[in-house]
Chain A
Amino acid sequence: MSVVTLQLGQCGNQIGFEVFDTLFSDSHCSQIFCSKKENEAYLASCMERFFREEESGVPVARAVLVDMEPKVINQTLSKAAQSGRWKYGQHACFCQKQGSGNNWAYGYSVHGPRHQESIMNLIQKEVEKCDSLSGFFIIMSMAGGTGSGLGTFITQNLQDQFSNSLRMNQIIWPYGTGEVIVQNYNSILTLSHLYRSSDALLVHENDAIHKICAKLMNIKQISFRDINQVVAHQLGSVFQPTYSAEGSSHYRRNPLGDLMENLVPHPEFKMLGVRNIPQMSENSLAYSAFTWAGLLKHLRQMLISNAKMEEGINWKVRPPSSRLPALDKPFVSQELHFNTSIANLLILRGKEVHSADLGGFKEPALYTSWLKPANAFHVWKTQRGFRKYEKSAALVSNSQFLVKPLDRIVGRAWNMFASKAYLHQYTKFGVQEEDFLDSFTLLEQVIASYRSL
């Protein structure tokens, strides 16, 4: 089943390109650690999901590119076409010459309705070229104007027009010390609206990715391209094909649907994060060897101590010894800095994947009291290695990891709102104070729900 990707704004388009490039190059990778026949099935599965065939023979990404400025889209299109290996569809992009001025309200209330028909037409055309549509993958940032405002508007439209298809929003969480003054306003408006119209919010924090680039990849001058490539690597390790069941040799047909079913069936808990292990520059890869036991032990500790990478993990954090029902023990888990999970999806790729011992992830202490590990923990496997990694693991988890950052953003936005700073820029484009209040209420509810796990 196919996934149609929507790349929105500067951030969305740049990341989207890296994602497709990663998926393509991994599928055609030479070092695979499995049989040739298996590799062919892997390649076919990935191609069918994210690309389509055209007469020219060059695979075309199933994507629609949207931005209010032409520069980034043109760069993206030409980079893809230059490689000669894959490309974007000829008429798959929509851009204007106007920009959104980092104003969520402008993107949502002005650009949205104005260009709704054209954009939805493009999406419809792309959907018609799929045999069957699993859902939409919408890549956007939270802090700017186009990605956040227009992205939210489009997601709502997708909910209306394609109500039977799934929607996953890939959101870039801005730097804490970001440049955009109103990024907190943009963020809370985006998150609160998306919570109602999206099925899952997969969040990548710029700060965390930045640290990964610095510490693990040893990059001296970190550019946005480096950040985007790390994000693309993580997304690729989640969405590349995996076996449909334990012991099966067929690849899963609907990873988007399966992922959502495993992690976000509850309407109040939709925030997902990804952790990856190992993560390093390609030069170091040749000199490293790993065991599943070591990888999983680190990944587990990363999960429970809310670490974003395998360096600097706090090994002192331990699961609580007894897990009382949440109502009896509010906020204690916060004091222990223990990251409680609701549900986890572990994805293992590489050699001897069936021998990996998963007991550490099945302990009830890791999870909230009302969901047992049988329902909360899932694992996907394939023997085919990912991007030359002999063994690699990715963990998509629905846990408390975003409570603190979210609280911070809500707090800052509230301070600005209370002093009515910059509000007129939003109210003049149709976003009233009530909309802000609604957003605050919804997000406070989300924070409270996650805290009481």
Chain B
Amino acid sequence: IADAVDITSGSKYFSLHLSQFGPYRLDYSRTGRHLLVGGKKGHVACIGWQTKDLMCEMNVMETVNDVKWLHTEAMFAVAQKRWLYIYDSKGVELHCVKKFNDVLRMQFLPYHFLLATASATGFLQYLDVSVGKEVAAICTKMGRLDVMAQNPHNAVIHLGHPNGTISLWSPNQKEPLVKMLCHRGAVRSLTVDKTGTYMVTSGLDRKLKVYDIRAFKPLHSCFLPAGASCLSLSQRGLLSAATGDIVQVFQNILGSSPVSKPYMAHHLRGQIWGLAYCPFEDVLGIGHGEGFTSMIVPGAGEPNFDALDTNPYRSYEQRQEWEVKALLEKVQPELIGLHPEQLSKVDQTSFEQRHKEQVEALGFDPLAKDKFKPKTKKKGRSSAGAIEKRKRKVAHEDQRDEIRQSVQERTEREKELKEKSNEKKLGNKSTLDRFRK
């Protein structure tokens, strides 16, 4: 393809031969201008891939599990062997977050400024990068978490598990929002489309399944000979699946009819480790054992960008301004849920339910009555016995009231019935009744 297209497009096809530091993970920044690659054996580099200028390159001398850009291209997070590190674009180590250990996969929620990490110990943790606070740490109890995706629509994190289930998480609940059984074998990879409608999963049973996550129903599934180890959906809905050392690109996979043939296929030299579409470009980035390859996939990227949200051509000052605005419009992590439109609904729960929640949140009952405390009296009238007597006077006051009321009601009812029956008796009596025995 590179030969057929014009020069600028053709220049987007390139490959980096980096055979030394093993299979590479990669991440494009949200604007699509910058590329971050992280080799398994510690090589981390960020590149302005269109101009091909290297912003920084270093070796962290540790295993690198995953790399992720934060909200701007000035910072990125690297999940290393033990802890999570944050570097700036010059390669200066900014933070070492020791609370986040053994991180395997990371996802950044751009509108919440949250970095979600899934660790080998089964913990899903959320780091608020705007204030540097851990928002939530959830023990999933599902074993090693090495499959992770985010739903861009509602910022719910999807995790794939070795028992073939996929669970959906928000930082507000300690249990999964939804747990669905997708594969008979372990889940190898999953990805969610931009609108948050479809989810594509692949498992050890070599199947590729498309789910409608609004209804949690499978749309269709297909069988890939080797099974897909990595999946990625482009902005326009092209699916790329890595089967061993081959990348296959499928078209119309989100449609109603199942596909039988890939749209494109590309053979690479090493095992594929990372796949990502570049936003707003017709480019698919592939990280593999022998380095990195940028591949042209026609029709992958969204041609119309929202310049107020993610502008690929923004200047330094525009970026600064955007950063301030984004911080001002930051969405609080409490609002993450399966249904983001729930916020605009009227809360129609009962008073009791709300009160219970309030009590749970506060740790005490704000509407509870104070316990009766008898006054201290002098001249021996505050002896233990006297106090007890006084207490007994007011004990169970509310219950007494209720009982009194109910008794009164009952007596009234009885009275009424009696009167009625009397009337009936009188009414039925005729003058001749007196002669009856």
The answer on A and B forming one complex is: no
